[in-house]
C-alpha cells in the first residue's frame, strides 16, 4: 500500500511524463474528482441496502477501482493546492469532535 507521500510523488511523475500537468489545475482536478465520485455512486445505483452490503467479487473490484481513482485525484488536488492530507484529516477530526461531542449526539 502506497503512503500518501508516495502517491503524491507517483502522481506527479505520472502526469509529468505524459505532459498532463498543464491540464491539472485545481478546478479541473476537482471536477475530475466529482466525476469519479459519481462513477462510484453508479456502482451502487438501484441497489437495496441489503444488496450494497453483499457485493460480488466483480462489484468489489469495480468499486475498488473507483475508490482508487478518487484517492489519486484527491492526492493530486491536495498536492496542487499545497494541502497535507494527513494534517487536514487530523484537524478536521478535532473540529468534528468539538462540533459533535459524543455525549450530546450519541444515538441521534
pLDDT digits (tens, 9 = 90+) for 1-45: 569 999 999 999 999 999 999 999 999 999 999 999 999 999 999
Distance CA 57, CA 62 (A): 9
Question: Whole-number mean pLDDT of the chain?
Answer: 95
Q: How far is CA 23 from CA 76, 81, 92, in A?
A: 12, 14, 29
CATH level 3 topology of 4-105: Helix Hairpins (1.10.287)
**If we measure between CA atoms, which residue out of 86, 77, 99 comes closest to residue 27?**
77
Residues of the chain above pLDDT 70, percent: 98
What's this model's pTM, rounded to 2 decimal places? 0.88
Amino acid at each position: 500500500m502506497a503512503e500518501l507521500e508516495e502517491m503524491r510523488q507517483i502522481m506527479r511523475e505520472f502526469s509529468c511524463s505524459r505532459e498532463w500537468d498543464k491540464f491539472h489545475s485545481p478546478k479541473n482536478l476537482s471536477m475530475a474528482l466529482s466525476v469519479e465520485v459519481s462513477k462510484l455512486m453508479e456502482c451502487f445505483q438501484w441497489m437495496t441496502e441489503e444488496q450494497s452490503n453483499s457485493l460480488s467479487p466483480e462489484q468489489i473490484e469495480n468499486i475498488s477501482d473507483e475508490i482508487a481513482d478518487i484517492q489519486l485525484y484527491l492526492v493530486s488536488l491536495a498536492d496542487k493546492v499545497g494541502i497535507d492530507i494527513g494534517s487536514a484529516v487530523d484537524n478536521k477530526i478535532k473540529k468534528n469532535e468539538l462540533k459533535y461531542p459524543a455525549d450530546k449526539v450519541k444515538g441521534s
